[in-house]
Amino acid sequence: MATVSVCQYHRGGFSFENCKRNALLEADINKLGLSSPAARKTGTTICGLVYKDGVVLGADTRATEGMVVADKNCSKIHYISPNVYCCGAGTAADTEMTTQIISSNLELHSLSTGRPPRVATANRMLKQMLFRYQGYIGAALVLGGVDCNGPHLYSIYPHGSTDKLPYVTMGSGSLAAMAVFEDRYRPNMEEEEAKRLVRDAIAAGIFNDLGSGSNIDLCVITKGKVDYLRPHDMANKKGVRTGNYRYKHGTTGVLTKTVTPLNLEVVEESVQTMDTS
């Protein structure tokens, strides 16, 4: 009976009821000198480029939670539609849910129009949703795909601005990856050269940024075909142990051996039935 909302039928969506309480708790915790747990981010290197026949998207595979690696092999290239894929940087949950929602919406939309979906549609849906939430949904995305108008690549920032470019990078390792792109990008490259360039850009992010690491995933999208290469390159394989501290059998010589059988008698046997209903 505490609010007006009790009188109207309860609507779905985000609920801001606990915000004030959370702010108070946060202030109290900070006064004690501790810190509240951080959301899992994908401090990341993601990038994409347009080549002769289509689009190549690349991503690393490390998810961090503060200063600890939460997931050594997470998948950052999300499916939006058969011809459109999206890499996500920022808060991991936000990118997951946003791409799933947009993927569903795009599918419904394409069923309603009767045509295969376009990258520009996905871009507009994403941008309108992210702007609606004013940047509180921390999802920085690289959206790429091939539709009836050719290959397209967009970068989408958490506040809702988008850029349509031939090559883009996002995430904490974006500067390292962009340096590689700026040096070696040419328009209308061949597929192998494009894959190698994206792999090198992500590797630059992995080796020079703490928030990115592990393997390199690639996604090559062309007119009729999608190659989801996961992992394309295991740049950081965990080493194999060279030595072993266990001694081999027979290292220690046996002097004497005595065997004493222990005669145990069954004193009591009780059966307890489990209630498995």
Q: Is 10 in the site for other proteins (CB under 8 A)?
A: yes
Site string for other proteins, 119-158 (x = CB under 8 A): ----------x--xxx-x----------------------
Give the SS3 label for residue 205. helix
Of 3, 42, 44, 242, catalytic: 44
Q: Which is nearer to other proteins, 30 or 128 (CB)?
A: 128
- Is the bond leading into 231 cis (omega within 30 degrees of zero)? yes
Give the SS3 label for residue 81. strand
Q: Are the C-beta atoms of residues 58 and 201 closer than 8 Å to each other?
A: yes
Is 44 an active-site residue? Answer: yes
Contacts of 134 (CB under 8 A, 6+ apart): 159
User: Got the DSSP string for 122-135?
Assistant: HHHHHHHHHHHTTT
Axis crossing angle, helix 174-184 with helix 191-208, rounded to the nearest 10: 150
Q: Which is nearer to other proteins, 7 or 148 (CB)?
A: 7
Integer Cα distance of 63 and 80 in angstroms: 21
Least distance CB 107 / other proteins (angstroms): 10
Least distance CB 7 / other proteins (angstroms): 4
Q: Which is nearer to other proteins, 21 or 246 (CB)?
A: 21
Say how far residue 264 (Cα) sits from the centre of its chain: 57
- The span of 46-54, 60-68, 98-106, 203-211 binding other proteins (CB under 8 A) equals 98-106
Least distance CB 91 / other proteins (angstroms): 15
By annotation, the residues acting in catalysis are 44
Q: Which residues bind other proteins (CB under 8 A)?
A: 1-4, 6-17, 19-20, 23, 97, 101, 104-105, 108-109, 111-112, 129, 132-134, 136
